[in-house]
Structures are given as structure tokens and as C-alpha cells.
Amino acid sequence: MKANKTLTMKKDTNAQVGIGTLIIFIAMVLVAAVAAAVLIQTSGTLQQKAQSTGKQATQEVSSNLIVKNIEGVRAKDSAVVLSSTIDLLRLKVGLNVGSQSVDVNQVVISITDGTTANNLVYAANDKTYATVGAADGAMDGFSSSSPATNLQKLLTANTTANSNFNNSDHYFTVDKIRDEDASFSQSNPVMNTGDLINVYIATTSSSAASAGYDYVSTTVTSGVLKQSGLNLVPRSVVNIILTPESGVVTNADFVTPSSYGVKETVQLYP
């Protein structure tokens, strides 16, 4: 038979003591504290960057304009004496569902007829076409209270900034249609949800400018029209791109009708 074995626990009450042990303990605490501080700082920085990136990404995908329709207007002397080209485009523009606010002052509109391309900024934009170091780039004679005056200047006048140029191939103007919170103005054209505006793009042809028509819609031009370089004759292929400061770009493509007939205003898009 096997002898019974007795298991006993050995008591060891000895421990490391002294200044060396204390130093090691303090060093371990300090290392842990530094590591924790680094982790907290890093996580905070990453959180801030993630929030900023998320906000920018949301703005990029949710801030966009929508072109609801486009009408073309022919210059005229009377109801029967009409230009052979479309000389003004009137775009009805709103915000898409869920869109952030859009500052029209920072929107760039590119338009081409297949031969000429114009890049247009809002008439009150004082930086884009300014002399270097100056803020003289806004359209000369811009009115902060009268959309009609701005449209007339767009069609008939020049601006002197870094050079002398026609307003018709450098600017666009706007006029509000619906603005429930009264936040949209000529000097502060910020669109909020539900706002609806007209955007005016001059497309005056050289033939219309030389013919000296007296009217474009209800705007009196007194026989002075500045050409835009565009020539929207029948069957012209037109591409318009609206690029906001942030958000997706908006495209509107159309082909002008095969004949304008006796219509002063022509439906072009959609």
C-alpha cells in the first residue's frame, strides 16, 4: 500500500523592499499614465477629425441645386420683330431634398454652345475678376436692391476690374421667386430649403448685338446689347453646369428647337 501523502502550503511572507523597488513602482505608474494620456489625446484627435470629415462628406452629398426648368428669351423691337437667336436664358433653380444652404455668391456657372464656353460668377462676386489684391471684381453698377437693374446691366454694360469686359460673358444675375423666411437678397443670396429663384444667363449673339434690339423680355436695352460670344441658333447643343462651393455639380443639357417660329419665349428644358 502507498503511504499517505500530506500536502502543505509554504508560507512566504518575504517581499521586496527598499528604494529600488519604490523607484520601479513609480516608473511603472508614470509609464502607464503617459500611455493613457497619449491614448486619450489620440482618440480625441481622431474623433474630431472623424466628425469634421463626416460633416464635410454630408455637406458634399447633400448640398446641391436642382434646375427645374429653363426658358429662352429672344431680343425684340416689337412682338413681330424678333431676334433669330436665344439671347437670354432664365433658369428656375431650387434646392434638392435634404440639401444644406447654398451661397449663390460662390456658385460658378459654365455654359457652352459647342463652340464657345463661358464661366460665369454672380454679379456681386467681388473677388473672382478683381485686380490682384483688390476687391473690385463685382459687376459695375450692381444694385443691392433692384434685380431689374442688375439684369439690365448684365445685358447692356461693361465692367472694369483687372480689364474691361462685357458683363454678359462674365456674370449671371438672380431674382427670388419664393423666399418664405425673407433670407434671400441681392447682396446676400443664400438659398435655404424651400427657396426658389430665377437665374439669368446672357446668351446675346453677335447678330442680336449688332441689330440693336430695344427689349429683352420686359428689360429695356435702348438698342445697346453686349454680345456674350454664344450663338444659340436653332438646333444648338447647349450644356450648363452649376458648381456650388460645396456639394455635387448640377448639369442641364438641351438642344434648342429646330425653329423658334414667332415665339418670344421658348421652353428649352426639361
Range of the domain at 140: 65-269
Q: Is the domain of 123 the same as that of 201? A: yes
Residue 115 DSSP code: S
Q: Is the domain of 47 the same as that of 156? A: no
Q: Does residue 203 lie in a domain region?
A: yes
> What is the overall mean pLDDT for the chain?
89
| Percentage of the chain lying above the pLDDT 70 cut | 87
Q: Is the domain of 72 the same as that of 26? A: no
Q: Does residue 91 lie in a domain region?
A: yes
Q: Does residue 9 lie in a domain region?
A: no
Residue 155 clears pLDDT 90, i.e. is over it: yes
Q: Is the domain of 55 the same as that of 89? A: no
Distance CA 119, CA 108 (A): 7
Q: Does residue 202 lie in a domain region?
A: yes
Confidence of residue 6 (pLDDT cuts 50, 70, 90): low
User: Which tens digit of pLDDT belongs to each residue from 110-119?
Assistant: 999 999 999 9
Q: Is the domain of 170 the same as that of 186? A: yes
**Which of 203, 3, 181 lies closest to 84, judged by CA?**
203
Tell me the average pLDDT across 129-153: 94
> Which DSSP helix (H) or strand (E) runs through 52?
helix 19-62
Count structural domains, the chain.
2
Q: Is the domain of 109 the same as that of 157? A: yes
- CA atoms within 13 A of residue 243's CA, in its CB half-sphere: 8
User: Which tens digit of pLDDT belongs to each residue from 14-43?
Assistant: 655 567 777 787 888 888 888 888 888 887
Q: Is the domain of 218 the same as that of 103? A: yes
Distance CA 104, CA 121 (A): 9
CB atoms within 10 A of CB 261: 9
222 backbone φψ class: left, alpha, beta (φ>0; ψ -120 to 50): left
110 backbone φψ class: left, alpha, beta (φ>0; ψ -120 to 50): beta
Q: Is the domain of 231 the same as that of 253? A: yes
Q: Are the C-beta atoms of 259 and 74 separated by less than 8 Å?
A: no
User: Which tens digit of pLDDT belongs to each residue from 210-269?
Assistant: 999 999 999 999 999 999 999 999 999 999 999 998 888 999 999 999 999 999 999 999
Q: Is the domain of 69 the same as that of 203? A: yes
Q: Is the domain of 35 the same as that of 70? A: no
Q: Does residue 7 lie in a domain region?
A: no
- Output 196 or 97, whichever has higher pLDDT: 196
Q: Is the domain of 24 the same as that of 113? A: no
Note the pTM of the prediction, 2 decimals. 0.79
Q: Does residue 13 lie in a domain region?
A: no
What's the confidence (pLDDT) of residue 60?
Answer: 47
Q: Are the C-beta atoms of 197 and 104 separated by less than 8 Å?
A: yes
Q: Is the domain of 24 the same as that of 108? A: no
- CA atoms within 13 A of residue 182's CA, in its CB half-sphere: 0
Round to the nearest angstrom and report the end-to-end CA distance of the chain.
105
Go through 61-75 and write b for each residue having 16 or more CB atoms within 10 A of its CB, e for each that does not: ebbbbebeebbbbbb
